[in-house]
Amino acid sequence: MFDYFKRVKNSFVGVIFGCLMVPGSIALHAWNEYRTVHQSRGLAEASRTVETLPSVDEIQPTYNEKLVHLTGKAVTEETLHDPEFSVEANAIRLVREVEMYQWVEEKVSRDQNNSNQPPRYEYHREWSNEWLDSAKFNEPEGHHNPDMHYRESESLAELVHVGAYRLNPALQRSMSSWEDIDLNSQDPVSTIAEEQREHFQIRNNQLYWSSEVPNPEQPLVGDLRIQFRKIVPAEVSIIAQQRSDTFGEYTTSNGVKIQRLFMGTLTAQEVVERLIAENNMIAWGLRFLGLILCVIGFSLILKPLSAIVSFLPVVGELTGALTFFISMLLGTSLSAATIGIAWIAVRPLLGGTLLVGAGAGIYLLLRMKRKTGSPQSAAPPPLNV
């Protein structure tokens, strides 16, 4: 009986969160549609105004401050060095990636039949590139993670050119032509003190470190495996504002900022199409998130109905299924209505279709309510013989 009242109490607490989530989802939908339309208009303007540079071999002064498109090979003459290891490469970017073998805490779900049981935690060891503070574990004793002996690092070339133009750091970081650095062709520990070199071992093009003798097959907690990667010269396509011999963000008339680099050789139209596709993907992702929040919000608001009758097994399950269906219907209808209202000013056909769909959902809900709420017809009186 105690568990029953606790479930009912918790369901009413959930109503508070539900009343916050529903308007929150509406606000998210409204903001997302504004953002999508705003971005779409900016990209439409960019599609009309972008100009492809006739050549990248020399600076084109007539295109200064304009939105330009160009393709070419991004190259650098610099040799980058790792700050602690003897690893170097002619590269645009050089990174050191570090993983540590360490304890990981995992919370085990409570037994649904015994909600008073405290949560359990399980611990296992695995490789992770993020150091986990074992002092914050619920059971830190016996699960100590030492500090990482080496951390990740990054080196970035100062001068990267596409023809006569320089790439700024933002465009450089957009490049993804990654390659692993072959450690067998280098001596990565030559800069390490000689008495410390026995703690290192190269295996599968990775550098292993251990406070003991490294054994990649049976690692110890605190052991590290280190990998070095580089961004190599490659063909790129850029859309940005030309600023003398380099680039920056171009701002459209409605405030949309454009500065992007894509790998490979793309036309100006293909670059804009990719930006449009990204905008649409973000829009649909946020729409789905808003829908989920709205459905969960209504589920929490209606939860007390199923909690109150949960002591009746069959009735409780049926009520729970019905409230979930109603939550889905309400969430979908409200989300569609919000999106439809937001779009009707810019895309009347799509906005009107969504509003019609939302109206159909609400109509269906009202029909269900009327049908379930109407009294049963009285039985006909017996005939007098």
Q: What is the dihedral of CA 19, 20, 22, 26, to 10 degrees?
A: 140
Q: Does residue 14 share a domain with residue 83? A: no
* 213 in a structural domain: yes
322 neighbors 303 (Cβ within 8 angstroms): no
Structure tokens at 375: 């009294």
Confidence (pLDDT) at 338: 81
How many domains, in total, are found in the chain?
2
Same domain, 82 and 184: yes
Q: Going by DSSP bridges, is the β-strand pair 206-209/224-231 parallel, antiparallel, or unpaired?
A: antiparallel
Same domain, 40 and 81: no
264 in a structural domain: no
DSSP state of 252: -
* 142 lies in the same domain as 224: yes
SS3 209: strand
Measure Cα distances from 146 to 150, 217, 358 in Å: 12, 20, 56
Assigned domain for 299 exists: yes
Alpha carbon of residue 318 to chain centroid: 36
Tell whether 150 and 199 lie within a shared domain.
Answer: yes
Do residues 200 and 328 share a domain? no
CA end-to-end span of the chain: 55
182 within some domain: yes
Extract long-range pairs of 51-57: CB within 8 Å, 24+ residues apart.
51/268, 52/267, 52/268, 53/242, 55/163, 56/162, 56/163, 56/164, 56/165, 57/163, 57/164
What is the spatial distance between Cα 124 and Cα 225, in angstroms, rounded to a whole number?
Answer: 18
228 within some domain: yes
The last residue of one of the domains, among 232, 266, 292, is 232
Q: Is 190 part of a structural domain of the chain?
A: yes
Helix (H) or strand (E) holding 315: helix 313-343
Q: Token pair for residue 50? A: 């972008």
| 90 shares a domain with 38 | no
Q: Are 264 and 312 in contact (CB under 8 A)?
A: no
Q: Which domain-ending residue is among 232, 262, 289?
A: 232
**Domain check: are 38 and 84 in the same one?**
no
Counting Cα atoms < 13 Å in the Cβ hemisphere of 81 gives 6
24 with 89, same domain: the answer is: no
**Dihedral class, residue 100 (left if φ above 0, else alpha if ψ from -120 to 50, else beta):** beta
pTM above 0.85, yes or no: no
Give me the domain span that covers residue 171. 77-232
pLDDT along the chain (385 residues), means of 10: 66 84 91 90 95 96 97 97 95 97 88 63 95 94 95 96 96 95 93 92 95 93 97 97 97 96 97 96 95 91 77 71 83 81 61 58 57 47 42
For residues 193 and 335, membership in a common domain is answered with: no
162, 262 Cβ separation under 8 angstroms: no
pLDDT of residue 366: 58
Q: Is residue 252 included in any domain, yes or no?
A: no
10 Å CB burial of residue 371 (0-12, 13-18, 19+) is exposed
pLDDT at 345: 55
Q: Is residue 237 part of a domain?
A: no
CB 134 within 8 A of CB 150: no
Q: Based on the fold, state whether residues 81 and 228 are members of the same structural domain.
A: yes
Amino acid code (one letter) for 79: T
Say yes or no: 323 and 220 in one domain.
no
**126: closest CA among 101, 156, 152?**
101
Backbone angles phi, psi at 176, to 5 degrees: -130, 25
pLDDT at 375: 45
